[in-house]
């Protein structure tokens, strides 16, 4: 099975957070000439996935306007304030309408995600279609992560701020890992943003 332009795979980009500690919508921070939300969409498409759902919450109108010209489907999560789990549920529920074989979950605030990492995750899925394919931060597993369809009911059961990490802990014996130590860096505070700008 090719991972290039595979209609059986879909991606869910989680971009619903309020960025309260950042003080401005991090989805719209501009790095290397484009907003973070447009950048991650481009990386997912470069990895060969064209069915993309973007889960929005806080700042939904502004973020949606920034990507209105892109071929993605936006999903508004009215419960975004309850935590990332609700956004995983919203994205999974929307994506299931097209009956994908697997879903790739990506965060908007991991600037070091690259298409090559995503292609590695997709390749491992072709080799291990019954496994969860995860990113290995060195300290713990995390996203980007790819879940086969038989895990969708468990994704739909998430609540609060658990996100997918709870499932990854519960099913460690069913995971295949791709090294991604840069996954430990995400953008939460102005200090994080300055560190990124000063060093990259």
The per-residue pLDDT for range 101-129, each reduced to its tens digit, is: 999 999 999 999 999 999 999 999 999 99
Q: Contact at 8 Å (CB) between 91 and 55?
A: yes
CATH code for the domain of 168: 3.90.550.10
Q: At what angle do helices 36-46 and 115-127 cross, to 10 degrees?
A: 40
Rounded to 5°, angle at Cα 54 from 102 and 87: 80
The per-residue pLDDT for range 26-74, each reduced to its tens digit, is: 999 999 999 999 999 999 999 999 999 999 999 999 999 999 999 999 9
DSSP secondary structure letters along 176-199: EEEE-GGGG----SHHHHHHHHHH
Domain count, the chain: 1
Structural domain including 75 reads 9-199
| pLDDT recorded at residue 163 | 66
- In order of 18, 79, 175, the CA distances from 159 in angstroms are 18, 10, 21
Instruction: With respect to residue 90, please indicate whether it lies within any of the assigned structural domains.
Output: yes
Instruction: With respect to residue 135, please indicate whether it lies within any of the assigned structural domains.
Output: yes
Asked whether the whole model's pTM tops 0.85, one would answer yes
């Amino acid at each position: 099975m090719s991972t290039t332009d595979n209609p059986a795979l879909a991606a869910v980009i989680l971009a619903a957070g309020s960025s309260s500690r950042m003080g401005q919508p991090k989805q719209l921070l501009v790095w290397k000439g484009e907003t973070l939300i447009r950048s991650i969409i481009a990386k997912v498409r470069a990895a060969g996935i064209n069915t993309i759902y973007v889960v929005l919450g806080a700042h939904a109108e502004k973020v949606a306007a920034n990507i209105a010209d892109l071929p993605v489907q936006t999903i508004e999560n009215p419960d975004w304030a309850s935590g990332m789990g609700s956004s995983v549920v919203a994205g999974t529920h929307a994506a299931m309408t097209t009956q994908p074989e697997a879903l790739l979950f990506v965060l908007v605030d991991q600037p070091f995600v690259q298409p090559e990492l995503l292609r590695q995750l997709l390749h491992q899925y072709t080799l291990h279609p019954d496994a969860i394919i995860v990113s290995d931060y060195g300290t713990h597993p995390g996203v980007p992560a790819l879940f086969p369809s038989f895990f969708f009911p468990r994704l739909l059961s998430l609540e609060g701020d658990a996100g997918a990490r709870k499932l990854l802990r519960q099913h460690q014996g069913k995971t295949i890992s791709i090294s991604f130590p840069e996954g430990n860096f995400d953008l939460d505070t102005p200090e994080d943003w300055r560190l990124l700008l000063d060093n990259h």
